Amino acid sequence: MSERIGVYPGTFDPVTLGHADIMRRGSKLVDKLVIGVATNPSKNPMFTTQERIEMVLGEVDRLGLSNIEVKSFDALLMHFAESEGASIIIRGLRAVSDFEYEFQMAGMNQQLNADIDLAFLMSDVLLTPIASKLVKEIALYGGNIEKFVSPDVKARVDDRIQQVGRLGTR
């Protein structure tokens, strides 16, 4: 029997507790889960690809997950999934708006490769509002992000904010 490989893609800028929840739950569905850290410069990332990989690796270690690999990719998701030998792509959903976007992407991806399935995992209800974009915005304006990211990620975000400076006033 062949190994069942899944891919969980994202920018992870920064990796949140919501991402960690999907990693933990997604790793139970496959023999090996490849977390694909997308380069996607159009999203104007706060962290470099290498820094995001390091953060994801830190979360994998924190969670004690042994069947996960972390890799960067700069290609169509389906091409990346094919290159990894994946039979499934795992995506997290927080809200209806996520579903609408993911549903459209699923249709396009199915046209590219109908042999790779897609699994949607609903976020834990307590983690639903967490989005990397909002975490960065809260941090940039001096807000506390400790409810949304692990302590290690919070420290990295705080360090980056020290480098780039906060926005607005308190």
Of 106 and 84, the one with more pLDDT? 84
Angle at Cα 77 formed by Cα 59 and Cα 97, nearest 5°? 75
Q: Would you state the pLDDT for residue 31?
A: 98
pLDDT one-digit tens code per residue, 26-65:
999 999 999 999 997 777 899 999 999 999 999 999 999 9
When pLDDT is cut at 50, 70 and 90, the band that residue 169 belongs to is low
d(CA 162, CA 35): 28
Helix (H) / strand (E) element for 84: namely none
132 in Cβ contact with 11 (< 8 Å): yes
69 within 8 A of 34, measured Cβ to Cβ: yes
Residue whose C-alpha is closest to residue 27's, from 92, 78, 77, 82? 92
> Could you give the C-alpha distances from 121 to 72, 104, 150, 156, in angstroms and in order?
22, 16, 21, 27
The pLDDT value recorded for residue 2 is: 87
- Note the pTM of the prediction, 2 decimals: 0.91
> Which residues are marked as active site?
19, 43, 94, 132
pLDDT digits (tens, 9 = 90+) for 114-133: 999 999 998 887 887 888 99
Radius of gyration of the chain (CA): 16
